[in-house]
Amino acid sequence: MPISPNFTSILSKDWEINFTQCAPNGFLKYTDLCAILQLTASAHSETGGISFTDMQEYDQAWVLSRMRVEITSLPQSGDLVTVKTWINSLENSRSIRALEMYLNGKKIVGSETFWAVFNTKKRRPEALALPFEHFELYPEKRATQEGFSKINFNQEKEMVFEKSVFLSDLDIVNHVNNVKYLEWCMDLVDEQLILDQKIESFEMNFLKELSLKDNVIIHENSSKGETVFSITKDEKTCFALQLNWK
């Protein structure tokens, strides 16, 4: 698709939170929060001519490599939120994108995301084949208080769950969707911590893709103020999640 006549380097998009996106406490689920952020990023890529459809002409797609989310509060069912997004950096095969969520004019969520251009046939990163110079970059305009950190997933840990990858876990790129990893891990957290909104921030690191019928093991390590989950296949770490508690 050509660049939209309405294209701007900072996109602002409204979303109404509905009941299917909320937990039993009436507040937005963390997984649906991430989905809204990623849909906003996708909408910005679409108006700027570097969407999934555009990139598929070159067998390319954006895939999420890292994501940090800082949360002040969560919206409830029926709330109208505004998500703003812009690009901090974009070169060759890598891009850092910032996102912020607002409720009644107040910022409630900030997120920093790291994306890679992925060849969907060769299954490896490569330089973006489409022009992107029309995107103004904002390297100093940060959405989070802290940047990406190194998740220590090599410490002593406990195996807490085994599962196989099902068709419902896959997305249009034919690998496990990034929100699914978060969902798998969140389902293993004490539900009261989730319902009481004790998560201050969380960070995800996507290391290796998972495909249909892959068998994986989920590990957990908890210490004061944080819980780290890691997902392995054949003893190799594919994903890591760090939950930081209030």
CATH, residue 89:
3.10.129.10
Give the count of domains, the chain: 2
What pLDDT band is residue 152 in, cutting at 50, 70 and 90?
A: confident
Residue 62 and residue 112 in one domain: yes
Contact between 4 and 47 under an 8 Å Cβ cutoff? The reply is: yes
What pLDDT band is residue 209 in, cutting at 50, 70 and 90?
A: very high
**Domain C-terminal end among 144, 179, 207:** 144
Query: Which pLDDT does position 154 carry in this prediction?
Result: 80
- Short-list 218, 228, 220, 233, CA closest to 184: 218
Q: Does the structure show a pLDDT above 90 at 108?
A: yes
- Mean pLDDT throughout 74-101? 97
Contact between 62 and 117 under an 8 Å Cβ cutoff? The reply is: yes
What is the percent of the chain with per-residue pLDDT over 70, rounded to a whole number?
100
Domain housing 165: 149-246
Residue 174 and residue 105 in one domain: no
Q: What are phi and psi of 101, to 5 degrees?
A: -115, 135
Output the average pLDDT for the chain. 95
Beta bridge partners of 13: 83
Q: How far apart are CA 223 and CA 203, in angstroms?
A: 16
pLDDT digits (tens, 9 = 90+) for 139-149: 999 999 999 98
Q: Which residues have CB under 8 Å from 195's CB, separation 6+? A: 23, 24, 25
Q: Does the structure show a pLDDT above 80 at 1?
A: no
**Domain C-terminal end among 144, 163, 187:** 144
Residue 19 and residue 81 in one domain: yes
Q: Does the structure show a pLDDT above 90 at 34?
A: yes
Query: Which pLDDT does position 145 carry in this prediction?
Result: 96
**Domain C-terminal end among 86, 113, 144:** 144
Residue 135 and residue 18 in one domain: yes
pLDDT digits (tens, 9 = 90+) for 187-200: 999 999 999 999 99
